[in-house]
Amino acid sequence: MYDFIIVGGGIGGSCSALALSNQYKTLLLEKEPLLGGCSGVFHRGKYTYNIGATTFAMYQEGQLMKKFFDEHNLKFDFDKLEIPLCTYINEKKIYRYTQKEKFIHHINQVFPHHAHQKFWTDVLELSNQFYAHYDIYYNKSNLQDLLKTLLSFGKQFLNFSTPILQNAKKQLEKYYGKDIDPDFVEFIDNQLLIVAQTHLEKTNFLTLALALSYPFYDNFYIKGGMGKLFEIIEKKAGEIHKNEEFITALKVGDIYKVYTTKNIYETKQIVFNSTYQNDIKEKNNLTQSAFVVYLALKTQKEFLHHYQLIKDKHFEDAISKSIFVSFSDKNDTMMAPDGEYSVTISIHTDLRFWDRLSKEAYEEKKKRVQKEIVDYFCKELHIEQNEIIKQFSATPNTFGRYIKRRILGGMPLEFTNYFLKFGSPKVGDFFYCGDNIFPAQGWAGVVAGVVNMKKVIDASLKN
């Protein structure tokens, strides 16, 4: 008999197992041979690929994620990045230096404007204040917790009412004027998109500040890929069964019988790193997903670890003008042989673009979208096609087949979504984690959601 069975080994499920296993008897179920979900890795031939083009940021003293992992005595092998991201737009290159003054000097050379000093200083200061005051309790499953949630959010609102109520686009125009360089606006808007899954006109200034600030905090390259994080978590996350898929759960008295492809288990509680019996995605008509290209690259050229390449128009069958690119380190032979790179390139798409297609139409579209992305990638980074020794891609349907998740990127952080549309960490008898449950995203956001869910579990079991 288990106290908790956790279904799904993505960031949320793995960190939930880590958080609960010290106190309870737990079992983590993962259908794939590796933990990680869309934030993990997979192996193909001599290469290891990050499933998504992603970053590991906000792991530093004073931040919740560092505190969480320190509490469980986890240590990671990584390299700190001086330049977490480089953005290309219309032959301009913007290097997101972690040092604020160095970045402001640089952005003034690319987009000269007297407002840069105040804007970027205010953005970072607002972000610092938010994290210093961060103390959220979030649960909508009962009246008592709903009132507690409203009180928690009310305190945050009192501290940050002005930036919460300000429209991000209008506030940007207040700093820079309406004659602002359109390339600078595109740069800002696409930075927001990769972090918060939304655009300037649809969100508030606090969200913009948090999205723009992440390169100013500590960002790291994980040696061996994101999967190494999960290998380290796995050692301290209690009992784990991989290659075992959850089928259903039936309540029998005060316990649940959990049926998998290999066994039947009994447990008192269940945590889902998915939306099992929780129609949050359908309620909110979420259709955002990703198209991802994977490359093996053999070249003498050297690259940073992360790029955002912004086009002057949307890519075909995508909902974005930009691609996000992650390179392995040139010395990381766990990812690729010496002198070669493992590359992951992602772009936002709509899963409806990939529905109701014949096999021939689907394959033709996939090939066409992959070619446009690879051609643009090569053009912008001056890579020869013959330097690419392997290439293939994944659509929303691919992710649905392998990780049972077609909707990727989490709930957009928009005015219309805050609080009301996000899921709840407790719905009925079940607990939930992940980026559609808690109003935050990425590693730091999902970990914050797990910490919040643990508070909800403790309060629920106490009652």
Length of the chain (residues): 463
To 5 degrees, how large is the angle CA 172–CA 176–CA 177?
100
Helix (H, G, I), strand (E, B) or coil at 202: helix
2-76+222-282+412-462 — its CATH code? 3.50.50.60
Report yes or no: 257 and 250 within 8 Å, Cβ to Cβ: yes
DSSP 398: H
Rounded CA-CA distance 436/422 in Å is 6
Q: Which of 243, 222, 273 is nearest to 34 (CA)?
A: 243
| β partners of residue 249 | 258
Segment 107-127 shows an average pLDDT of 97
For 198-216, write each residue's pLDDT tens digit: 999 999 999 999 999 999 9
Residue 122: CA count within 13 A, CB half-sphere: 14
Dihedral sign, CA of 399, 366, 414, 85?
A: positive
Tokens of 115: 């407002």
The contacts of residue 283 (CB under 8 Å, 6+ apart) are 421
Residue with token string 């301290």: 236
Segment 42-60 shows an average pLDDT of 92
Rounded CA-CA distance 11/53 in Å is 15
For 354-397, write each residue's pLDDT tens digit: 999 999 999 999 999 999 999 999 999 999 999 999 999 999 99
Using pLDDT thresholds of 50, 70 and 90, give the confidence band for residue 153: confident
What number of H helices and E strands is found in the chain? Answer: 13, 20
- Read off the pTM: 0.93
Rounded CA-CA distance 169/306 in Å is 26
The domain limits of the chain are: 2-76+222-282+412-462, 103-220, 284-403
